[in-house]
Amino acid sequence: MSAVAAGAVASVWAAVQLIAWIALGSLVVRGKAAPPVSSACALLAGSGITGFLLAVLSATAGIRWALAGTFIASGLGLLFGGKRAWQEIRGLAQIYAQLTSGRRAVRMVSVVLLAWAWTLACCPPRDADVMRYHLGHIRQIDIEGRWTAIPDLHFSFPFGWTLNYLPFEHWGLPQAAHFVNLGVWIIAALTLAWAAKRLGGAGSSFLLTGLFVFQPYVLKMATTAFAEMYLLLVALTVVVLLTLPQEADGKAYLLLGFAAWIGAQSRYQAIAIGLAVTLLVLIRFYLNQLPQRAFAQFAAGGAAAWVLSSPFYVMNALSFRNPVWPLMTQWFGNSAYQPVDKVAKTS
């Protein structure tokens, strides 16, 4: 199969998976926001649920059960949330139409840029970091038939978003991960443009969105099997919920708590987002600028995110006696580390 043909199949698969995540997540955020806020939150929730299922089932029952559980969850999401997901997609399309209304040049440039990004995403994975860590770890899990703890620092960080690439790797289309990130890039760009127009007008909207979509490394994140595009969407969703809470239908702090902490499922560094937002919420609560109900909603959203993130910290705690291994080893009395190549030779 040629790279273009494989890319076409992978892009369709990725699109279906993105819709399934939005459908699954919309069952949680239904009625609490409108596109694009609801679309971003639904995507974070849906992918967080499948990441949790893949982690728990691949560690306990093996990847066959993990894949089956993920497809069942995605199918149920499409069955019960498919209509809502379609409304989300239509809402995003309407936002694009409104933002580019009367701007033919902008539409032409966006089509050309998207076609270029699609072509880049068709290429098989080739980035060193992707092959060493992101897809390298997923391939290791697929080969072994389950997720096992490996005392290599590259393979012990939380990797919930990356674990969602497992079906793509298992069935031989890892480039589908590129198209998943490309879809996240599109949602992030529309969210940024929409929020900037709400806050600063059309000029700010086009300036910020242009700087975003044309930034070379952002374009690389959008067409490579990284986790950075996902984390960028997390950060953008948090900023939108903080600056435009009225767009979340009275449930801004519930969604904010979830968005602020769900990044911990995929990166230790994302914990900084949760800590910063939590500190801000605590200050507002202490100054009586935040009602107790909103504070309780924030805590509930954060707790839900931590439940979905927990398998990675539990695995490290059980395997290395340190939930955040290889960090803070001096506190937990365990600094054991072996390069993965040495582990493979001795196992």
pLDDT digits (tens, 9 = 90+) for 186-204: 999 999 999 999 888 777 7
pLDDT digits (tens, 9 = 90+) for 7-57: 999 999 999 999 999 999 999 887 667 889 999 999 999 999 999 999 999
pLDDT digits (tens, 9 = 90+) for 136-158: 899 999 999 999 988 877 777 89
HSE, side-chain direction, 13 A CA sphere, residue 169 = 21
pLDDT digits (tens, 9 = 90+) for 101-139: 888 988 999 999 999 999 999 998 888 888 888 898 999
* C-beta of residue 39 within 8 angstroms of C-beta of residue 255: no
The pLDDT score that the predictor gives to residue 327 is: 83
The pLDDT score that the predictor gives to residue 2 is: 83
Kindly state whether residue 84 falls inside one of the protein's structural domains: yes
Average pLDDT score over residue span 155-180: 93
* C-beta of residue 212 within 8 angstroms of C-beta of residue 71: no
Kindly state whether residue 167 falls inside one of the protein's structural domains: yes
How many separate domains does the chain show?
1
If you write DSSP's letter for every residue of 225-240 in order, what string do you get?
Answer: S-SHHHHHHHHHHHHH
Kindly state whether residue 180 falls inside one of the protein's structural domains: yes
Q: Is the pLDDT of residue 336 over 60?
A: no
Q: Is the pLDDT of residue 342 over 60?
A: no
Burial class (CB in 10 A: 0-12, 13-18, 19+), 167: buried
Paired tokens of 251: 């449930």
Cα–Cα distance for residue pair 221/10, rounded to 1 Å: 17
Q: Is the pLDDT of residue 175 over 90?
A: yes
Kindly state whether residue 331 falls inside one of the protein's structural domains: no
pLDDT digits (tens, 9 = 90+) for 70-100: 999 999 999 999 999 999 999 999 999 999 9
Q: Is the pLDDT of residue 337 over 90?
A: no
Could you list the residue range(s) of the whole structural domain that residue 62 is in?
A: 3-245
333: left (phi over 0), alpha (psi -120 to 50) or beta: left
The pLDDT score that the predictor gives to residue 34 is: 81
Q: Is the pLDDT of residue 244 over 70?
A: yes
Kindly state whether residue 345 falls inside one of the protein's structural domains: no
Paired tokens of 105: 């040049």
Cα–Cα distance for residue pair 38/149, rounded to 1 Å: 35
Q: Is the pLDDT of residue 335 over 70?
A: no
Q: What percent of the chain has pLDDT over 90?
A: 71
Paired tokens of 74: 């995605």
Q: Is the pLDDT of residue 307 over 90?
A: yes
Average pLDDT score over residue span 266-292: 93
Q: What are the CB-based long-range contacts (under 8 Å, 24+) for 108-111?
A: none
Q: Is the pLDDT of residue 338 over 60?
A: no
Nearest to 188 by CA among 163, 159, 218, 158: 218
Kindly state whether residue 170 falls inside one of the protein's structural domains: yes
Kindly state whether residue 327 falls inside one of the protein's structural domains: no
Kindly state whether residue 328 falls inside one of the protein's structural domains: no
Report pTM: 0.93
pLDDT grade for 347, boundaries at 50, 70 and 90:
very low
The pLDDT score that the predictor gives to residue 344 is: 45
Tokens 């919420």 belong to 281
